[in-house]
Amino acid sequence: MSSSTTTGVDWRKDLKMSIISSILTLVLGSLLPIFLKNDYLYYSAYVVLVYIVLSIAWNILGGYAGYLNFGVSAFYGVGAYTSAMLFLRFDVPMPFGTLAGGALAAILGVLVGYSTLRLKGIYFAMTSLAVAVMIQMFIVNTTELGGSRGLYIFTPKPPPPYYSYTEYLFVFMLVLALGVLIIARAVENSWLGFGLRSIKDDEFAAEASGVPTFKLKILAATLSGFFMGTAGGTFPFHITYLEPYSAFSLEITLNTIAMVLMGGVGRWYGALIGALILASIQQVISVSISSELNLLATGVFLLAFVLWAPNGLVGFITKRSIREGC
């Protein structure tokens, strides 16, 4: 059997196992609110799951292809405002509004990709940040979208068997997180993942070898934007009040990038581990000390990882295992 065939079998087996494990996790997570009533627990778990989605989505373009995206809040905010406006104007349920927000964010990914993905390094990073600022300023000056005053969201009753909307949001975000994990694992082991990694290694060599580099980058930006938009689509129902400075906050972008760097860039499980650890620590700090120290904690942990584990936690463990094996 050829190596390509073996790789294909391994890829299908890996995808099958990830789907099965995700279904089991979803079943357990869906049943948890029935037996355990603790709104703050689900509130905190929701925040952690949001950052898991954002980190894995960012990793598709930033980790695999090496394009440092500072425009996370642009896609997140577009998803948030789309779902909020659909709910307020047309009474569209949160799940459908969230998917619509993801679709609009995906379109934004295509548009931004066509105009910025020919840039590299710091130029692409600053341009992506500028996109988030421009969209934020547009909403601030648009009264039909709430302007600087924002929008109030009165959440409907949660569907049975959930007691509160917080429990419902937790389960819904769990579905999104597991879906993103499955797709990210599939992308990483597919022709798309190999193509994106070749772009990261040497884009000119990849182009010369026949890799459609620009098309792959556009596809990665579209996928990344869609998942970030879906994460943002639940945000208005989480806080019941939406205004541009929180929806397009730079803190969202910095946290997302820091989580991927801490876990390990270029691997889906690196983004997962980084988001799980740092987001959980931030929630503990918010309760035990102060929510204002979240960014400080992010900076301290990021500095520590840059100094002692520049390749993230996954890279550090892998390197140590190789040394011990030798």
Q: pTM of whole model > 0.95?
A: no
User: What is the spatial distance between Cα 146 and Cα 277, in angstroms, rounded to a whole number?
Assistant: 35
CATH number at residue 312: 1.10.3470
Buried b (16+ CB within 10 A) or exposed e, 277-297: bbbeebbebbeeeeeeebeeb
**Domains contained in the chain, number:** 1
CA distance 249 to 200: 28
Domain extent, residue 141, equals 3-325
Task: Give pLDDT, residue 87.
Answer: 97
Contact 27, 175 (CB under 8 A): no
Reading the chain (326 residues) residue by residue, the pLDDT tens digits are 333 433 444 656 666 666 666 677 766 777 777 777 888 889 999 999 999 999 999 999 999 999 999 999 999 999 999 999 999 999 999 999 999 999 999 999 999 999 899 888 888 999 999 999 999 999 999 999 999 999 999 888 888 888 899 999 999 999 999 999 989 988 988 899 999 999 999 999 999 999 999 999 999 999 999 999 999 999 999 999 999 999 999 999 999 999 999 999 988 889 999 999 989 888 888 777 766 677 777 778 778 877 787 778 887 777 666 666 65
Buried b (16+ CB within 10 A) or exposed e, 124-151: bbebbbebbeebbeebbeeeebbeeebb
